């Protein structure tokens, strides 16, 4: 089987500007995720950041990416619309997209969803339990019934997203809210997975179960469909004689 080419994109802003974030992710969130994925068989991993040429997402990078992981929070609006157009086009062609935590408000996720992607939130370092609600799904492989995170930022419903193809995880929070924490959609030939856990001041991207979900999601989101059939507007001749 050919390797799955993964690009971990991070705006990489908080880690350079806030000491509390630098203390948790000294090399950046993208490097923490890439360090795990690089150790997994069958994955070829690179990183990309906002401050690189073409905001890290030039034509060549995207053409050689099977699955794009997206982390952003402070700089959503700095991502240029032409880059969003380019990423969207690749997703419609079959590139997978994994959207993490605060990237619910990224331009690319809102573009792909078509809704506000608004939600409720509270930063109080409370407990979260992510329940596996679809154990048939490959993204849940290797997990137990739930993942428990001792200190998280709360995200609560209503989450303004279009009805997902599948809801994989539902979170319960100590403060009483619930949230659809793991959801999938298809857009064109591409698969999209939103995964809630994260936050720049909690060490969540070192948690083995969270990393396992991200690795499972990469394998799930990689294109395995029909590369012969393109989704294009084509004026076609009939296959049969329709004039007699």
Closest by CA to 202, choosing from 48, 17, 29, 13, is 29
Contact between 140 and Zn ion (CB under 5 A)?
no
Q: Which of 113, 199, 214, 220 binds Zn ion (CB under 5 A)?
A: 199
User: Across-strand partners of 166?
Assistant: 184
Contact between 15 and Zn ion (CB under 5 A)?
no
Contact between 107 and Zn ion (CB under 5 A)?
no
Residue 173 or 220: the one with the smaller Cβ distance to Zn ion is: 173
- Of 28-36, 124-132, 145-153, 234-242, which segment contacts Zn ion by CB under 5 A? 145-153
Cβ neighbors of 190 (< 8 A, separation 6 or more) are 90, 91, 92, 93, 94, 95, 96, 97, 223
Residue 30 or 199: the one with the smaller Cβ distance to Zn ion is: 199
- Alpha-helical segments (H) within the chain: 14-17, 19-24, 29-38, 59-63, 81-93, 107-113, 208-221
Residue 180 or 199: the one with the smaller Cβ distance to Zn ion is: 199
Contact between 102 and Zn ion (CB under 5 A)?
yes
What token pair was written down for 155? 């995200």
Contact between 14 and Zn ion (CB under 5 A)?
no
Residue for token digits 């290797």? 142
Cβ neighbors of 90 (< 8 A, separation 6 or more) are 62, 63, 65, 68, 190
Number of residues that bind Zn ion (CB under 5 A): 3
Cβ neighbors of 132 (< 8 A, separation 6 or more) are 140, 143, 144, 145, 146, 168, 169
Residue 30 or 90: the one with the smaller Cβ distance to Zn ion is: 30
Residue 180 or 191: the one with the smaller Cβ distance to Zn ion is: 180
State the minimum distance, in angstroms, from the CB of residue 109 to Zn ion: 14
Contact between 171 and Zn ion (CB under 5 A)?
no
Contact between 177 and Zn ion (CB under 5 A)?
no
* Interacting residue ranges for Zn ion, rule: CB under 5 A: 102, 153, 199
């Amino acid at each position: 089987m050919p390797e799955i080419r993964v690009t971990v994109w991070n705006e990489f802003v908080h880690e350079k500007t806030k000491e509390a974030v630098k203390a948790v992710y000294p090399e950046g969130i993208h490097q923490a995720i890439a360090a795990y994925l690089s150790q997994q068989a069958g994955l070829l991993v690179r990183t990309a950041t906002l401050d690189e040429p073409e905001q890290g997402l030039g034509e060549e990078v995207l053409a050689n990416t099977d699955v794009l992981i997206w982390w952003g929070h402070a700089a959503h609006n700095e991502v240029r619309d032409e880059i969003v157009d380019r990423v969207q086009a690749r997703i419609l062609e079959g590139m997978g997209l994994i959207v993490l935590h605060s990237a619910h408000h990224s331009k690319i996720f809102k573009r792909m969803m078509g809704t506000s992607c608004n939600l409720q939130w509270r930063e109080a370092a409370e407990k979260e339990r992510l329940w596996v609600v679809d154990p048939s799904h490959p993204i849940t492989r290797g997990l137990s019934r739930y993942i428990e995170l001792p200190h998280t930022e709360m995200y609560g419903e209503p989450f303004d997203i279009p009805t997902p193809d599948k809801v994989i995880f539902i979170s319960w929070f100590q403060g009483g809210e619930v949230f659809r924490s793991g959801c999938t959609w298809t857009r064109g030939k591409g698969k999209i997975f939103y995964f809630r856990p994260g936050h720049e001041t909690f060490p969540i991207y070192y948690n083995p179960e969270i990393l396992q979900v991200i690795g499972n999601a990469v394998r799930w989101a990689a294109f395995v469909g029909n590369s012969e059939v393109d989704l294009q507007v084509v004026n076609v001749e009939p296959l049969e004689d329709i004039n007699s």
